[in-house]
Amino acid sequence: MDESEMLAREAAAGSSAAFAALVRKHQSALRGFLMRMTRGNAALADDLAQETFLEAFRKIGQFGKGTFFGWLCAIGYSRYLMEARKKKLEPLDDEAESGVADDRTPAVDDSAIARIDLEKAMAMLHPAQRAALTLCFALGMTNEEAAAAMNVPLGTLKSHVNRGREKLIHLLPSWRIKEAT
């Protein structure tokens, strides 16, 4: 059992200090994940992160197997989906993807700008593909952990990852070609 899981047990036993330590430890990664899900909307991402921690505190007694951060992401992702449905932030049905390319995207090999390219390309993916790629790559979860966090079967998760990667491969060089010509 790692530090977070021990703190979660203490929080479940009524320790607010333990929960505060968990918030401090995971706030950056959770806000980063939600920031990517909301396509860079920092205010909305922070609101969702706050709601996620509040819900986690209420349900801390239900935290069982798996990692605490995975459990937190599951709550955060479901909060994001509710918000996206309610405010119609972007289409969530299986086939819909926002395919509007951004012509202002720069095409330079510099790593900082490559990150900006990636964020813009990520914003064009279906939310499930965006979540799957972020959880599996940037946040280093196993496929099983990511599938649990997204509440989807393992096969569906793998399909989101593969389709998301294919779309990114298509999107990233197309920007460079566009800029070069």
143 interacts with other proteins by CB under 8 A: no
Under the criterion CB under 8 A, does residue 66 sit at the interface with other proteins? Answer: no
Q: Does 133 bind other proteins (CB under 8 A)?
A: yes
**Binding of residue 16 to other proteins (CB under 8 A):** yes
155: tokens are 């096969």
Can you list the alpha helix ranges (DSSP code H) found in the chain?
3-12, 16-37, 42-58, 68-87, 111-123, 127-133, 143-150, 154-180
| Number of Cβ within a 10 Å radius of residue 114 | 14
Single residue of 6, 13, 54, 154 touching other proteins by CB under 8 A: 54
Helix (H) or strand (E) holding 109: none
- Asked if 118 touches other proteins (CB under 8 A), the answer is yes
Q: How far is the CB of 159 from other proteins (least distance, A)?
A: 17
Q: Which two tokens stand for residue 40?
A: 């860079």
Say whether residue 126 binds other proteins (CB under 8 A): no
Total residues at interface with other proteins (CB under 8 A): 34
Q: Which one of 115, 116, 151, 155 is in contact with other proteins (CB under 8 A)?
A: 115
The pair of structure tokens assigned to 166 is 């294919």
Alpha carbon distance 16, 34 (integer Å): 24
* Interacting residue with other proteins among 128, 139, 148, 157 (CB under 8 A): 139
Sorted by sequence, the CB contacts under 8 Å of residue 84 that are 6+ apart come out as 90, 92, 127
Q: Which positions touch other proteins (CB under 8 A)?
A: 16, 19-20, 23-24, 27-29, 31-33, 35-36, 46, 49-50, 53-54, 57-58, 114-115, 118, 133-134, 137-140, 165, 168-169, 172-173
